Structure 1
Amino acid sequence: MLNLNTKIIGRKIIYLQEVDSTNEFAKGIAPQEEEGTVIVADIQTKGKGRKLRVWSSPKGGLWMSIILKPNVHPKHLTKLVFISALAVVETLAEFGIESKIKWPNDVLVGGKKICGILSEGKYSENRVEYVILGLGINVNNELPKELKDTATSIREVLGFEVPLIDVFKKLIGKLDKEYLQYLKGNYEEILGRWKMYSAIIGKRVRIITDDGEIAGVAIDIDENGALILKQNNGVLERIYYGDVSLRFS
């Protein structure tokens, strides 16, 4: 166990050599665990992304989950993904890597995914019990052949390996800073900076939802985290959940 003396995030760190999923591990201990506890693993055997997609998590990557218990209205929980993405972008910048955020939860470098974020939790209409914020960053890990065209890593971008602990420490510091802004209610400032790094605002996109596909120009993100899409007929649509594609065939 390592104490990095951060204010909230990282006050307690649980290190695991191997786990099925850091998010699942975190959910098992969250009710009694202190806020800011970080679970980090060398390997995830059943790493997951949104919609239960498999997330390749071999040794060399940064696989971690954070237990949070913010005293906020549940409607503000979507913004936790925003501050996580900002922290990742700022961490990558420390290594000279320019990145963009693809709504709702991916960080891209050169159009390729370098980080995914998964938020889960237990809450009611009026009360948050806990939130698990999972982050997976490709650092020095080998990428599966089938992902070579759509994913990248810090090692691939820089051409050399970076110490995993350096990435971890920088990310914890950035997350802590962003979370403190979140707790202060600085939502407009957070959203404004998120938009600065957006990979899709102003661009024509295709959204794949459970109900089908919808295309148009992504013009904004509202205060609740919804994507505002201007369809071909000029009608504005708010999208709360879906996968964004910048590719049209």
Structure 2
Amino acid sequence: MAIEWRIIHLDEVDSTNEYAKRIAGNSTEGTVVVAKRQTSGKGRKGRSWASPEGGLWLSVILKPGRIDPRLVFVGALAVVDTLADFGISSGIKWPNDVWVSGRKIAGILTEGKGSEYVILGIGLNVNNPVPEWLRESATSVFELTGTEIPLEKVLERLLFHLGGWYRVFLERPDLLMVKVREKTFILGKTVRVIQDEGELAGRALDVLEDGSLLIETPFGSKRVTYGDVSLRPIQGG
């Protein structure tokens, strides 16, 4: 059954994720909070996320009955498919970023409260200008296409794909992970993973069924459940 979207449009908010958390208890699944601007947008581990007007900043209230780390991939795949609708080829940088040609174009953040709800936040650079100091690491739809696309059109496509991948997550999570592996461009590459307890380097082998990353290191294969991933040059290549 298709999910019913209820969209709340805001001019400005501290964070769409924080707003969504404040109303989640009394809101139906499929409630979407969209803001023109965020004054305190955030990414993983409390990092700030620049959210000027022109980007697509939204949070979706989902109620799958459990917190599952694979929900972040529902958002990532929806972004990948949405970008493809506008002629842009992209991939997932595990666990929660979408990149185009070595630069970040979107980030996904999931936050939950037990079995009550999960907030799926998505920040997608669409028509917003990318600051000069971020040009080497970030991009936008406008920069890639040279065309300003109406945000409502991007939102419509994003929610269409989000609803489809959410159904796959609920009914066939194994198929979700097949697509995740296909779109995770770091697989087969040498990576560095920075975690709270230290750094781990090796070749990214696979995204496992539970959403964790399998890395081959000089000391054997390691399963990574979180961390910031960066690419490292492969020895001899």
Q: Aligning the two structures, in what range does the TM-score lie when normalised by the shorter sequence?
A: over 0.9
**2:2 maps to what in 1?**
7
3-state DSSP of counterpart to 1:30: helix
Aligned counterparts of 2:165 and 2:125: Cα–Cα separation in 1: 21
**1:35 maps to what in 2?**
29
Q: CA deviation at 1:247?
A: 3.8
Q: CA-atom RMSD, angstroms?
A: 1.4
Aligned counterparts of 1:9 and 1:217: Cα–Cα separation in 2: 41
**1:80 maps to what in 2?**
71
TM-score by length of 1: 0.91
Deviations 1:40-77 (A, max 9, x none): 00000100000111100000000000001113x54xx1
Identity %: 53
**2:169 maps to what in 1?**
182
* Structure 1, unpaired ranges of 5+: 1-5
160, 175, 189: which one aligns with 1:173: 160
1:157 counterpart letter in structure 2: L
* Structure 2, unpaired ranges of 5+: none
Give runs of aligned pairs for residues 1-249 of structure 1, distance below 5 A. 7-8=2-3, 10=5, 12-71=6-65, 73-74=66-67, 77-123=68-114, 128-184=115-171, 186-233=172-219, 235-247=220-232
Decide which moves more: 25-34 or 239-248.
Answer: 239-248
Is the Cα–Cα contact under 8 Å of residues 9 and 66 in structure 1 kept in the other structure?
no
1:139 counterpart letter in structure 2: V
For these two proteins, the number of residue pairs brought into alignment is 234
3-state DSSP of counterpart to 1:115: strand
**1:3 maps to what in 2?**
none
Aligned counterparts of 1:140 and 1:193: Cα–Cα separation in 2: 28
Is the Cα–Cα contact under 8 Å of residues 100 and 199 in structure 1 kept in the other structure?
yes
TM-score by length of 2: 0.96
1:241 counterpart letter in structure 2: Y
Aligned counterparts of 1:187 and 1:9: Cα–Cα separation in 2: 21
Is the Cα–Cα contact under 8 Å of residues 81 and 117 in structure 1 kept in the other structure?
yes
Deviations 1:178-212 (A, max 9, x none): 1111121x111100011111111110000011111
Q: CA deviation at 1:9?
A: 5.0
3-state DSSP of counterpart to 1:162: coil
